[in-house]
């Protein structure tokens, strides 16, 4: 007796070849279920801890500003649905004692994420003093390493309206 496809099936496999298909489907179903469960749990944790993460970021930025002996302080988060009509690619906060807003975001330079903040004027919608302040331990040194063109690009993104002007009124 010659077998080219391998050894002869033994036991239940020999009598019921559909069991192989059922077991393979069951294993795939379990794998997909685990993957979906992990994604649901991770997404739930991310969604339900958003306010906690925003508050912790506010405290951390205020500590960095205090360490850098900067007199500015963040007061409170601006909800995402109000985010001053801008795209939410960072966290928006109010500035204590002022009408201005502050955007805390990550700037990417040479493959490194640098936490930064930009103060945006409430009246004009422009970045105050055309500067982005790195929230690092040595902001002056960090600013020297970031190309000015990259900073200008981020400033244009912050100041630009969130939606193209097509003549349609957005409410």
Contact 53, 60 (CB under 8 A): no
Q: Please tell me the predicted confidence (pLDDT) of residue 168.
A: 46
Q: Please tell me the predicted confidence (pLDDT) of residue 61.
A: 93
Pick from 129, 131, 130, 126: nearest CA to 116: 131
Contact 122, 93 (CB under 8 A): no
Q: Please tell me the predicted confidence (pLDDT) of residue 89.
A: 76
Q: Please tell me the predicted confidence (pLDDT) of residue 73.
A: 93
Pick from 74, 75, 45, 150: nearest CA to 106: 150
Q: Please tell me the predicted confidence (pLDDT) of residue 41.
A: 97
What does the pLDDT profile of the chain (171 residues) look like in tens digits? 455 565 655 555 556 666 677 888 889 999 999 999 999 999 999 999 988 998 999 999 999 999 888 899 999 888 765 554 555 578 889 999 988 889 999 988 888 888 999 999 888 888 988 788 889 888 778 888 888 898 898 898 888 865 454 444 444
């Amino acid at each position: 007796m010659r077998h080219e496809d391998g050894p002869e099936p033994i036991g239940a496999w020999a009598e019921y070849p559909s069991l192989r298909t059922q077991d393979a489907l069951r294993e795939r179903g379990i794998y997909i279920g685990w993957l979906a469960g992990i994604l649901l749990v991770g997404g739930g944790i991310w969604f339900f801890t958003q306010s906690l993460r925003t508050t912790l970021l506010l405290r951390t930025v205020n500590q960095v500003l205090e360490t850098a002996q900067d007199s500015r302080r963040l007061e409170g988060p601006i909800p995402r649905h109000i985010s001053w009509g801008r795209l939410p690619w960072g966290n928006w906060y109010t500035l204590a004692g002022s009408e201005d807003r502050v955007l805390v975001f990550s700037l990417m330079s040479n493959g490194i994420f640098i936490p930064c903040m930009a103060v945006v004027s409430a009246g004009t919608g422009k970045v105050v003093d055309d500067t982005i302040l790195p929230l690092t331990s040595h902001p002056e040194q960090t600013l020297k390493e970031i190309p000015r063109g990259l900073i200008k690009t981020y400033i244009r993104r912050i100041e630009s309206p969130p939606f193209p002007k097509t003549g349609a009124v957005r409410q």
